[in-house]
Structure 1
Amino acid sequence: MDITIAYQRALQKYHLKYLALYHALREGILNGSFASGTRLPSTRDLAVMYGISRGSVKEAYDMLLAEGYIDSAVGRGTFVMEQTAVLPDKSLIKQQNQNSPVVKQKAPALSAWGQRIMQIERERNLQPSPASATNRDSAQQPLISFQAGEVVLEGSSQIAWKSAMTAAGKDLQKPSADATTAPVSGDEWLREAICHHVGRTRGITATPDQVVLCSGSMEVITLLSQLLIHEQDRIVLENPCYSGIYRAVTASGGQIHAAEMDQHGIVPQDWDSKLLFVTPGRQFPTGAVLPLTRRQHILQWAASKGAWIIEDDYDSEFRWAGRPIEPLKALDRTECVIYVGSFSKSMFSSLRLGFAILPVELAQALTAAKRLYDPLPPARLEQRALARFMMRGDYVRHVRRMTRIYRSRYDVFQRGIQQLSELFHWHQNDCGLHAYAIWKQESAQYHHLMQTAQFYGVTWRDAADYQLTPGPPSACFIFAHLTEQQIVEGFNRLRQAWDHIKNQ
């Protein structure tokens, strides 16, 4: 099974591998990340996952067994014993903090805009960003778009989702389900399910009152920008980065500082800033995975500056090899990291549900800001259905199924990439639903190819939209929504478009 525990954080404290593994597993059991009856990996599998010896794993398991945290039997496996805590208990967290004193981040210093929201919660209108259009010539063949497309549920996932929707509808028809009293922060069941899921898969300890649900991750990012950014504040963004983040920061009065990047992601520096937006699990758009040492440097910077880090973990569910490095939120000891996630990619495109995990004080401010836009929680039916979908284990099964499907499409995509090696330098990665490439030929030829490819019926995203400063032409190819046959045909058309240009 796939599990994530705070092993690296424990290793920093306890130094010995077996002792760090024992404490990381014990913490996961006590805070409810591993529910009673959860089957733990074998000593061999866990040793491979964390690069330690089977002897160290066995010693950690023996300690947990002796203290009654787990039960083990030959031929049956190792299981978590019943514990009293189901979700993180505040008294337990307080006791752990007393044993390991840390300096907590102070209450959020809201912007003037955020303070006005907290006082009178007055309305404010935002101008929507214009949608990008694709200008295509009137080609006869159907368009193959590597830009974006609708991802839908299929097979057993669709059946399970329909069942969850039906049950959710019955829940919300009960007399006690009064919409006017529903929490603006989101469905209670779903916030609890999210806590359990991120604890199990991402090593993040959270309670439901730290979770706020919004209509997609961009609503979370926009509201947080308005709450935390003062006029003329210097805000650190990755370069390149998602254009929506740039617009949200600029609209809130922030001054952009474009951070240096290399093949491993953002390069930590002593930035003169109080806020950093970062995508460490898989940098957008390059796909770079931030190494553990850099994650630690970023956390040290935030602690020294009293800064906030907004961690956008936008498509961490899908990996083709290896295990994910613990997110910044799992390594955070000063509560300076705000973790942002979404279900739009892991479920289906029209399910506009995002969430933030953040300190309780800031969660209250975010909820107050959200109330301006949604006085009543939106998508209550979908929220309750997703809660049931997750609690029944259907979500985990769905992600595993889609990982197999997307992996097959990714393999076909990789073979197609080889046809264009003379044109693009591709950034290799082992996760995510898109690929990033830098153009190797002359700049004018890149734009010529984009126009010619449209005539042949194939398009992709121009990554110049994500660059904060001028850079070489680059491209993003999104493949998850396409069939294997469409991916092959798309690369064939790209090759035809390039051959047409060369023969002119």
Structure 2
Amino acid sequence: MDITIAYQRTLQKYHLKYLALYHALREGILTGSLASGTRLPSSRDLAVMYGISRGSVKEAYDMLLAEGYVNSVVGRGTFVMEQTAMLPDESRINLQNQNPPIAKQKVPALSAWGQRIMQLEKERALYSTPVSATDRDDAHQPMISFQADEVVLEGSSQIAWKSALAAAGKDLQKPSDDSTPAPVNGDQWLREAICQHVGRTRGITATPDQVVLCSGSMEAITLLTQLLIHEQDNIVLENPCYSGIYRAVTASGGRIHAAELDQQGLIPQDWDAKLLFVTPGRQFPTGAVLPLTRRQHILQWAASKGAWIIEDDYDSEFRWAGRPIEPLKALDRAECVIYVGSFSKSMFSSLRLGYAILPVELAQALTAAKRLYDPLPPARLEQRALARFMMRGDYVRHLRRMTRIYRSRYDVFQHEIQPLSELFHWHQTDCGLHAYAIWKYGSAQYHHFMQSARFYGVTWRDAADYQLTPGPPSACFNFAHITEQQIIEGVKRLRQTWDSIKHRIMELS
């Protein structure tokens, strides 16, 4: 075996090779770098390792053996003995002189962007409250979580996806006469498929050179904030909104204006701002759908101010009833809307593919920013597979199938939570994969209810995580990732929780 000891340094002090080797080995043993039970190299191997005679190695080993630092076992080798505590004072002083203390590295002087990132990371850590089995009375029951979780492909969708992956693998292995590198803005086939899909389902007219593929919608949003926001620019965010958008804007130095909402979503104002983030198809997290008149008002505001609108269409693929209103991008005539979409919810969570549809000049800037982070496009196999999946019609069939499944789960959830209407005011919605509710009591009662529910093995997402300013206690219940039976069991546990603490809640009110 190879070992590393301070032989060259001790040789400068002791000059004789066997003495230098003895002190180097002794130091390694006493400082713990050669741990108790370590098998030392044979005398032949150690001699070759350090370019000394085998006799010098044997002499050093004999000295260590005589002083009890090692033990020699015939036929097995030489082993480090267990040592007591630390070096004698004199030896420790000598070693300290030989190894002067290394100055502690200074805390790096981060840029303003880096400092904001670290501050946001500290804030994010405050919301990380994983629930362990020891937090519960009945830990043998599996936890039922209404927090967003992995959604997977099943049945015919899974079969079709595997077929698309196999075909994509063959595509990418074919030799090509074209020496042009893979485009940073994404697979040409997939960008064409996206244009066809949003044209048919969302009424958006776009060309492939207006589409930039990213590793999820958040990468697109983060890069866009870096491209469009100057220090202290006024940026309008819905309140509440997705916390990732808040972090991206804050890290880029934007000054956030928290815009008010009502039952119909964002309330248009004459904001003094250059950028607006909005989720008109289904406001996140409340689920409100922005009416057409408000959409038109927002577009007029952007045109008059020369402002950008980033439209995050995160899960409007799944609609239970009614006709979807055209997205802002489909109504935009001034080319001031950037449309951001994702496949993480419509396909499966680990498929980190999102996209932005934007004016060609801005698409070129976004591509240049992506090139800085990803000189080679990621997930080329998945991109080509998704292109095939969409072009063959499998994506549309998958959406229809999953809409039926999610609608059924939503109906079960809506039916089961009726007895909890005395606790929550539920926001009704005709699309999306989560339900939003406002707690009817005070903050102390809400947190007591949340903590008690953990003991019954059920959790959900506290919507306070999305509030830019203090607001009433509220909750998000995701249902797409769990079965109907789990939904029934989860709501049953919520009712049990309420029954067990109802009197206490009333006393606190």
> Structure 1 residues 283 and 255 mapped into 2: Cα distance closer, same or farther (>3 Å)?
same
Distance across 1 between alignment mates of 2:150 and 2:241: 23
Distance across 2 between alignment mates of 1:393 and 1:294: 34
- Structure 1 residue aligned with 2:388: 388
Distance across 1 between alignment mates of 2:419 and 2:369: 49
- Structure 2 residue aligned with 1:273: 273
Q: Is the 8 A contact 2:311 2:328 kept in 1?
A: yes
Q: Is the 8 A contact 1:179 1:376 kept in 2?
A: no
Displacement of 1:306 in angstroms is 0.5
Distance across 2 between alignment mates of 1:150 and 1:461: 15
- Structure 1 residue aligned with 2:478: 478
Query: For residues 10-34 of structure 1, what are the alpha-carbon distances to aligned partners after superposition, in whole Å with 9 as ceiling and x for unaligned?
Result: xxxxxxxxxxxxxxxxxxxxxxxxx
- Structure 2 residue aligned with 1:157: 157
Displacement of 1:149 in angstroms is 1.5
Within 5 A, what are the aligned runs for 1:285-324?
285-324=285-324
Query: For residues 359-383 of structure 1, what are the alpha-carbon distances to aligned partners after superposition, in whole Å with 9 as ceiling and x for unaligned?
Result: 0000011011111211100000000
Equivalent residue letter for 2:214: C
Displacement of 1:126 in angstroms is 6.6
1:191 matched to 2:188? The reply is: no
Tell which deviates more after alignment, 180-189 or 282-291. 180-189
1:172 matched to 2:168? The reply is: no
Distance across 2 between alignment mates of 1:290 and 1:441: 28
Distance across 2 between alignment mates of 1:403 and 1:366: 33
Displacement of 1:180 in angstroms is 7.5
> SS of the residue aligned with 1:213?
strand
Q: Is the 8 A contact 1:239 1:467 kept in 2?
A: yes
Distance across 1 between alignment mates of 2:115 and 2:216: 19
> SS of the residue aligned with 1:315?
coil
Displacement of 1:124 in angstroms is 13
Query: For residues 179-222 of structure 1, what are the alpha-carbon distances to aligned partners after superposition, in whole Å with 9 as ceiling and x for unaligned?
Result: 98000000000000000000000000000000000000000000
- Structure 2 residue aligned with 1:142: 142
Distance across 1 between alignment mates of 2:350 and 2:211: 21
Equivalent residue letter for 1:445: Q
What's the RMSD between the two structures over aligned residues? 1.8
Alignment TM-score, normalising by the size of structure 1: 0.74
Equivalent residue letter for 1:134: P
Distance across 2 between alignment mates of 1:388 and 1:292: 34
Within 5 A, what are the aligned runs for 1:253-264?
253-264=253-264
> Structure 1 residues 172 and 273 mapped into 2: Cα distance closer, same or farther (>3 Å)?
same
Within 5 A, what are the aligned runs for 1:228-239?
228-239=228-239
> Structure 1 residues 407 and 174 mapped into 2: Cα distance closer, same or farther (>3 Å)?
same
Distance across 1 between alignment mates of 2:378 and 2:492: 43
- Structure 1 residue aligned with 2:498: 498
Q: Is the 8 A contact 1:241 1:467 kept in 2?
A: yes
Equivalent residue letter for 2:406: Y
Displacement of 1:463 in angstroms is 0.3
> SS of the residue aligned with 2:436?
strand
Alignment TM-score, normalising by the size of structure 2: 0.73
Displacement of 1:133 in angstroms is 3.6
Distance across 1 between alignment mates of 2:323 and 2:427: 19
1:371 matched to 2:364? The reply is: no
> Structure 1 residues 481 and 318 mapped into 2: Cα distance closer, same or farther (>3 Å)?
same
Distance across 2 between alignment mates of 1:133 and 1:204: 41
Q: Is the 8 A contact 1:171 1:177 kept in 2?
A: no
Equivalent residue letter for 1:211: V
- Structure 2 residue aligned with 1:91: none
Within 5 A, what are the aligned runs for 1:72-91?
none
Q: Percent identity?
A: 86
- Structure 2 residue aligned with 1:454: 454
Query: For residues 229-249 of structure 1, what are the alpha-carbon distances to aligned partners after superposition, in whole Å with 9 as ceiling and x for unaligned?
Result: 000000000000000000000
> Structure 1 residues 179 and 390 mapped into 2: Cα distance closer, same or farther (>3 Å)?
farther
Distance across 2 between alignment mates of 1:486 and 1:186: 39
With CA pairs under 8 Å and 6+ residues apart, which has the higher RCO, 1 or 2? 1
- Structure 1 residue aligned with 2:103: none
Displacement of 1:171 in angstroms is 0.4
> SS of the residue aligned with 1:181?
coil
Distance across 1 between alignment mates of 2:447 and 2:178: 55
User: In terms of Rg, which structure is larger?
Assistant: 2
Equivalent residue letter for 1:135: V
Distance across 2 between alignment mates of 1:402 and 1:133: 31
1:360 matched to 2:360? The reply is: yes
> Structure 1 residues 212 and 473 mapped into 2: Cα distance closer, same or farther (>3 Å)?
same
> SS of the residue aligned with 2:475?
strand
Displacement of 1:497 in angstroms is 0.9
> SS of the residue aligned with 1:271?
coil
Distance across 2 between alignment mates of 1:453 and 1:125: 35
Query: For residues 297-341 of structure 1, what are the alpha-carbon distances to aligned partners after superposition, in whole Å with 9 as ceiling and x for unaligned?
Result: 000000100000000000010000011100000000010000000
Distance across 2 between alignment mates of 1:126 and 1:163: 41
Displacement of 1:440 in angstroms is 0.2
- Structure 1 residue aligned with 2:400: 400
Q: Is the 8 A contact 2:116 2:251 kept in 1?
A: no
Distance across 2 between alignment mates of 1:247 and 1:179: 40
Q: Is the 8 A contact 1:439 1:472 kept in 2?
A: yes
Structure 1 alignment gaps of length 5 or more = 1-122
Within 5 A, what are the aligned runs for 1:336-355?
336-355=336-355
Distance across 2 between alignment mates of 1:467 and 1:310: 19
Q: Is the 8 A contact 1:187 1:383 kept in 2?
A: yes
Equivalent residue letter for 2:372: L
Distance across 2 between alignment mates of 1:352 and 1:182: 18
> Structure 1 residues 264 and 477 mapped into 2: Cα distance closer, same or farther (>3 Å)?
same
Q: Is the 8 A contact 1:180 1:376 kept in 2?
A: no
Distance across 1 between alignment mates of 2:197 and 2:224: 23
Structure 2 alignment gaps of length 5 or more = 1-113, 505-509
Distance across 1 between alignment mates of 2:261 and 2:499: 34
Equivalent residue letter for 1:364: Q
> Structure 1 residues 183 and 458 mapped into 2: Cα distance closer, same or farther (>3 Å)?
same
> SS of the residue aligned with 1:339?
strand
